[in-house]
């Protein structure tokens, strides 16, 4: 796929690898949607087969933190975060967005909530989006 010169060539490689067919009008977002769907299917399969489905969460946590970065930066810039949210985390992206916008993160893990609050403060204090990233990355990998 890395050697593909066009989106169509990349889609052909993905189709041959089992990612299914792609629409006639191919866009980068269509490829991303296919990859996202495959990722969700893999996580669902792993949860069904794992002795302890919670073990799969280790691989999903980074998507929750990614989504929180998107929400915080979207809020700070006034941009719609929806196109950048990913549905591969422990928490459904839509629900996380709703809860974040309401300021109701009580249902989420304490470390995640605390990191979100600290990241918002870091961005507000510094104006530097990387400050928020660092806070969230540190919490994610802790």
Tell me: the pLDDT tens digits for 1-11?
778 888 788 87
Tell me the per-residue pLDDT of 65-115, one tens digit each, with 9 for 90 and over: 999 999 999 999 999 999 999 989 999 999 999 999 999 999 999 999 999
The CA distance from 66 to 107, in Å, is: 18
pLDDT at position 28 over 80: no
CA distances to 49, 50, 63, 95 from 85, rounded to whole Å, are 27, 26, 9, 11
Task: Show the tokens assigned to 40.
Answer: 């969700």
Under 8 Å between Cβ of 59 and 39: no
Supply the mean pLDDT for the chain.
90
Residues 6+ apart with CB under 8 A from 110: none
**Of residues 40 and 140, more confidently modeled:** 140
Of 46, 72, 57, the C-alpha closest to 134 is: 72
Residues 6+ apart with CB under 8 A from 47: 53, 56
């Amino acid at each position: 796929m890395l050697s593909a010169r066009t989106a169509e060539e990349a889609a052909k490689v993905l189709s041959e690898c089992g990612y299914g067919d792609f629409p006639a009008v191919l866009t980068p977002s269509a490829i991303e949607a296919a990859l996202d769907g495959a990722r969700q299917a893999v996580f669902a399969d792993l949860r069904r087969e794992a002795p302890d489905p919670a073990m799969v969460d280790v691989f999903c946590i980074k998507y929750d933190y990614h989504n929180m970065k998107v929400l915080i930066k979207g809020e700070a810039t006034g941009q719609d975060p929806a196109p950048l949210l990913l549905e591969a985390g422990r928490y459904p992206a839509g629900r996380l967005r709703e809860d974040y916008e309401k300021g109701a993160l009580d249902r989420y893990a304490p470390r995640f909530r605390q990191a979100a609050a600290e990241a918002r403060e870091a961005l507000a204090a510094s104006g530097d989006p990387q400050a928020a990233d660092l806070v969230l990355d540190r919490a994610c990998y802790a």
